[in-house]
Amino acid sequence: MKAVRNIRLCTKDCLCLYVCPTGATDTDNGQIDAARCLDACRACVDACPSGAISLVPANYPPQQPTDESVKKPLQALSRSAARQEQAARAMAEGEPGPEGKRLAAALLASTRVTAEDLSREAGYLLPQSAEARAFIRELLESAQPAGFPREAAERLLELL
């Protein structure tokens, strides 16, 4: 486990500078130097009054396989979330007034997060997964709107 700092939460109280035994928290860019951070030390985490520092795993376990009976409903929900996102975008592009624009922006953000979570659970956001490669192939084989980055998708497929 290594320490990381959320700059947005940091109140610059700098207590972490005084308790870090290796000086990993004393960096020019405000981030914690992972190479100098001691595994599971926690001194800076416990000292930070704003809760801006937390521990994250150095290595994440591989994603667990998702059963086919679960993937299909996840994919259907993901498509539904994408349609909802398109509807929210259309609403935002209309002239709904300032309150409507704020609502549309919130809907856009919410449906995007939902769609990403569903896609990740279905195995699509893992670039090395067979599902991701099949998805990119499907995109390349079907008609896409103007501006679709076909060359980038082809290059990505080559790299995978």
Higher-pLDDT residue of 96, 17: 17
Question: Residue 143: helix, strand or coil by DSSP?
Answer: coil
Structure confidence by residue, pLDDT tens digits, 9-65 = 888 888 888 999 999 988 778 889 988 999 889 999 999 999 999 998 877 667 677
Tokens of 149: 């980055």
Q: How far apart are CA 123 and CA 126, in angstroms?
A: 6
Looking at residue 94, the DSSP 8-state letter turns out to be S
Top pLDDT among 128 and 151 is at 151
Of the candidates 43, 71, 68, the one whose C-alpha atom is nearest the C-alpha of residue 55 is 43
Please report the pLDDT score of residue 119 as a whole number.
Answer: 76
Q: Can you give the pLDDT at residue 27?
A: 76
| Better-predicted residue by pLDDT, 59 or 4 | 4
- DSSP conformational letter for 55: E
Q: What is the mean pLDDT of residues 107-124?
A: 79
2 three-state secondary structure: strand
pLDDT at 115 over 90: no
* Alpha-carbon gap, residue 142 to 31, rounded angstroms: 43
User: Bridge-partner residues for 53, per DSSP?
Assistant: 5
Overall average pLDDT of the 121-143 stretch = 77
Average pLDDT over all residues of the chain = 83
Burial of 151 (0-12, 13-18, 19+ CB in 10 A): exposed
